[in-house]
Amino acid sequence: MLETSPTHSLPDNAYTPLPPGTSYEPVVGAAARLPELTWRSVLWGVFFCVVFTVASAYSGLKVGQVMEAAIPISILAIGLARVYRRRSTLLENVIVTGIGGASGSVVAGAIFTLPALYMLELDPHPVQTVFICLAGGCLGVLFLIPLRRYFVRDMHGKLPYPEATAITEVLITGEKGGSQARLLLEATALAGVYDFFVTTFQVWREYLDFQFVPAVHTLAERAKIAFRFDAISFILGLGYVIGLRSSLILCAGGFLSNFVLVPLIWMIGSHVSSAVYPAAVPIGGMQAAEIFRSYVRFIGVGAIATAGIFGILKSLRIVAGSFSIAAHTFHRGEDGGLERTDRDITMVSLLLGVVLSALGIAAFLGSLTPSLPVIAAGLLMTLVFAFFFTSVAANAIATVARNPVSGMTMLTIIISSVVLLRFGLSGSTGMFFVLAIAGMVCTALAVSGQTITDLKAGYWLGSTPSAQEKVKFLGVIAAAVASGLTIVLLARAFQLGDSVAGDPRAVLPSPQAAIMKALVEGFMSRQPVAVVLFGVGGVIALIMEMLGAPALIFALGMYLPLELNTPALAGGFLAHFLGKRAERAGAGRGRLIRERGVIIASGLMAGGALGGVLGASFRLIPGFSESWIKTPFFDYDPVSQLVSAGVFTCFCLYLWIRSQRGARSAS
């Protein structure tokens, strides 16, 4: 007879702030000794990590989107749990998810910078591409560990952790089985099928702008006020999990950027016949999206950086406290009296990892230039940026599941270029040097954001933090090798960026890397810095702090494209009104309504991620075309967009109705 695992439920206070004097008791208690770090969990985790890394690298270079792998991998882990005679434990599934999830984060860091090296014809060696990913990933894990207690334990119930919530609900409902698991699978299947078709083929428009309405089109053309909406289920589920307040603040930042700053810049700049830096064409000839990319996004970068500084200042006391705890643990021994569920890797291991990473980075930078001052400056900037931006990434992921990697990478390139130019480093060597620093920092940010997600899910479920931290390095190594080599192969098989005359190879647009290429080229040719734009963003973030509003969420809304913010608002309103309905329904049924709402939203996120990964794998097929499946009305915007809006509305109704109907029958 097959062995079975006991089923578990999340405690009632899993998602709410704890009253003073109380502590959270995870699903698997600290005294429990379940199989966790086993060959089974490690090998499957590494396997999934490599597979999803390859698919994500191609997807990122093709369409600029990297699919987060942690949610689909958690679903695969549940399926594998039933294959073995001894069913895999909940903690083993956490390990599989944690290792495999490193794939998306390492790729997200790599695609911003490494392809730019090939666009600039700097031809990095494969070992160099792998090392940049590896060094950055290791720094991301190492620098996050001192922040774990603050973000995971001390801020319990105060930060929504959308992706960690989805992963946790997937794993826990997979353990419980029954109606909740069926509900999760139902929502996952619906979202997976829908997001797969709408993002992979030409069935109907994914993005809505309603410019087929004459009044809307006139507003966009004459006032540069353009509305866009990404009608996919993944973002709807994300908005539900982060809640109404965060969704409103996120959209408020987007509204300021798109409905105030873009029209304002156009109104003033349209009277100037020449191009205004940093754009290369006159403002009068730009569309709203071009103004946003050329000017407003830099304001968003300044706001994110300033908000990040405020976050760093607020967490300095906690960081110092974390190091004190780690030092105390080191002096008393590895256990140090701490419970299993609150035990990080030892202080000596942490310090040794940082030292080895620093030595490796110094040797790598030394292979690019013999100048010791330049090497020292590059090493210092890499370590400082990676350390302080880790807090920004963790806060952003914990709040809105959006990591401002691109904004922080742009800031790294700008500051690094200015500093290195003072040392006389320029030309091809300077560009390689700057992009290498940015690549390591970018990967560190992406990995730290994904790591805090894993640690929070593990906190809810009762994993051992030190075990999660150790295997995360395995995931980083596997993903670094796979992503670095995949980018090398794709750079040889395709043109990255723009098409070059006489080159018959197909083009992979690599949109993020193209931005970084333009930025580093501009600075290394000693063009002026857009200080005013960054400064405006900084002042906006300062004003938000003075008003007591979360500046980082607002800044993220300013920086992200509007179409990624607006669907989240729909999910936020659903969460708010369902919460009100749950309050009126009473304690028992109200709890079921809230629980089912989170499960469905998690299923929408999980299904959307699975559909995206499946779509990315289809793009690996030679000769793939989005027109393989094309509806007759796809190119006719009035019908195509209205159908898309109608299906999105159906998903909203599905979430609203199913959250209450099942709760009514269960009460």
Beta bridge partners of 127: none
pLDDT at 291: 93
Q: Is the pLDDT of residue 505 over 80?
A: no
Strand segments, DSSP code E, in 3-86 are none
What's the pLDDT band for 456 if we cut at 50, 70, 90?
very high
pLDDT at 636: 94
3 membership: H or E segment, kind and range: none
How much is the average pLDDT of 45-73? 75
pLDDT at 334: 45
Q: Is the pLDDT of residue 338 over 90?
A: no
pLDDT at 620: 66
* Spatial separation of the C-alpha atoms in residues 416 and 39, rounded to whole Å: 42
Q: Supply angle C-alpha 17, 22, 28, rounded to 5.
A: 85
pLDDT tens digit string along 346-388? 888 888 999 999 999 999 999 988 789 999 999 999 999 998 8
* Residue pointed to by tokens 């302080």: 388
CB 274 within 8 A of CB 285: no
How far is C-alpha 655 from the geometric centre of its chain's CA atoms? 24
How much is the average pLDDT of 587-597? 80
Burial of 653 (0-12, 13-18, 19+ CB in 10 A): exposed
Residues whose CB falls within 8 Å of the CB of residue 20, separated by 6 or more in sequence, listed in order? none
Q: Is the pLDDT of residue 657 over 80?
A: yes
In 3D space, the residue among 280, 279, 284 whose CA is nearest the CA of residue 224 turns out to be 284
In 3D space, the residue among 566, 373, 488 whose CA is nearest the CA of residue 128 turns out to be 488
Q: Is the pLDDT of residue 488 over 90?
A: no
What's the chain's average pLDDT?
Answer: 83
Report the phi/psi class of residue 424: left, alpha or beta, with left for phi > 0 and alpha for psi in -120 to 50. left
How much is the average pLDDT of 232-239? 85
Q: Is the pLDDT of residue 642 over 70?
A: yes
Whether cis (ω within 30° of 0) applies to the bond prior to 504 is no
How much is the average pLDDT of 144-164? 85
pLDDT at 365: 92
pLDDT at 3: 40
Q: Which of 108-122, 330-344, 462-476, 493-507 has the highest mean pLDDT?
A: 462-476
pLDDT at 4: 42
How much is the average pLDDT of 310-337? 56
In our burial notation (b when 16+ CB lie closer than 10 A, e otherwise), range 451-464 reads: bbbbbbbbbbbbbb
pLDDT tens digit string along 551-571? 878 987 888 788 888 998 999
Q: First and final CA of the chain: distance in angstroms?
A: 34
Q: Supply angle C-alpha 90, 93, 97, rounded to 5.
A: 140
* Spatial separation of the C-alpha atoms in residues 33 and 425, rounded to whole Å: 55
Strand segments, DSSP code E, in 118-255 are 207-208, 229-230
Q: Is the pLDDT of residue 178 over 70?
A: no
Q: Is the pLDDT of residue 511 over 70?
A: no
Q: How many helices (H) and strands (E) does the chain have?
A: 23, 4
What is the 3-class SS of 351-387, one letter each residue?
HHHHHHHHHHHHHHHHCCCCCHHHHHHHHHHHHHHHH
pLDDT at 333: 46
In 3D space, the residue among 547, 652, 549 whose CA is nearest the CA of residue 236 turns out to be 652
pLDDT tens digit string along 594-623? 878 888 887 887 788 778 767 766 766 778
DSSP category for residue 18: P
Q: Is the pLDDT of residue 1 over 60?
A: no
How much is the average pLDDT of 201-207? 91
Q: Is the pLDDT of residue 310 over 60?
A: yes
What's the pLDDT band for 216 if we cut at 50, 70, 90?
very high
Beta bridge partners of 508: 496
CB 254 within 8 A of CB 557: yes
204 membership: H or E segment, kind and range: none
Q: 301: which 2 tokens?
A: 């970068």
* Spatial separation of the C-alpha atoms in residues 193 and 195, rounded to whole Å: 6
* Spatial separation of the C-alpha atoms in residues 410 and 412, rounded to whole Å: 5
pLDDT at 380: 94
Residues of the chain with pLDDT > 70, as a percent, come to 86
Q: Which of 122-126, 200-204, 398-402 has the highest mean pLDDT?
A: 200-204
What is the 3-class SS of 423-481, one letter each residue?
CCCCHHHHHHHHHHHHHHHHHHHHHHHHHHHHHHHHHHHCCCHHHHHHHHHHHHHHHHH
